[in-house]
A = this chain, B = another copy of it.
């Protein structure tokens, strides 16, 4: 997605050889007009597929999933929760996910009420790096008996193992921008 690559080059900032920050439009401040372009592109990538629901994970995925839903006939969005909360239903699917960014394991939960057997689920998220979050969501989808249609990622870190990890599980990955490397403070796309 050309406009996304341009946006990353214009507004993104890098540090070291593996951190790309896109806080200005994707995961702290959100550019809603641009998110609509992203939603349209996800629809284009998955236009041949039946999608009954979009699943994402808090927090950065929520805005992306919500806007994208509008291009999928407003299918419900479900966001997996990362922390224990009094108000979450006790009847949940859960799995453990290791976060390399935070250096710790956390629990991811989805209420059993909101994933049903036979439903076709599109997973979306802002970044794909090690693939652990998506693997966790796939685990939860499998527990529910729903089908994972595929994964829509805004920015894939092509130099990390996420795509391989997911494709080895037979998961289809559609990334709108793939960063091949970060060299001398510059983003190189695949």
Contact = CB atoms under 8 A, between A and B. Distances in A.
A24 B69 CA distance: 16
Interface stretch (A70-78, A135-143, A180-188): A70-78
A20 B65 CA distance: 25
Interface of A: 19, 21, 23-24, 28-33, 35-36, 58-59, 62-63, 65-67, 69-70, 74-79, 81, 85-89, 101-102, 110-111, 113-114
A119 B144 CA distance: 45
A104 to B, nearest CB: 11
A110 B29 CA distance: 9
Contacts of A30: 62, 65-66, 69, 76-79
B114 A77 contact: no
5 contacts: A28-B78, A33-B74, A59-B59, A86-B101, A86-B102
Give chain A's interface secondary structure class: mixed
A66 B63 contact: yes
Contacts of A65: 30, 63
Contact of A67 (B19, B29, B66): B66
A151 to B, nearest CB: 19
Instruction: Identify which of A28, A77, A110 gathers the most chain B CB atoms within 10 Å of its CB.
Output: A28
A87 B127 CA distance: 13
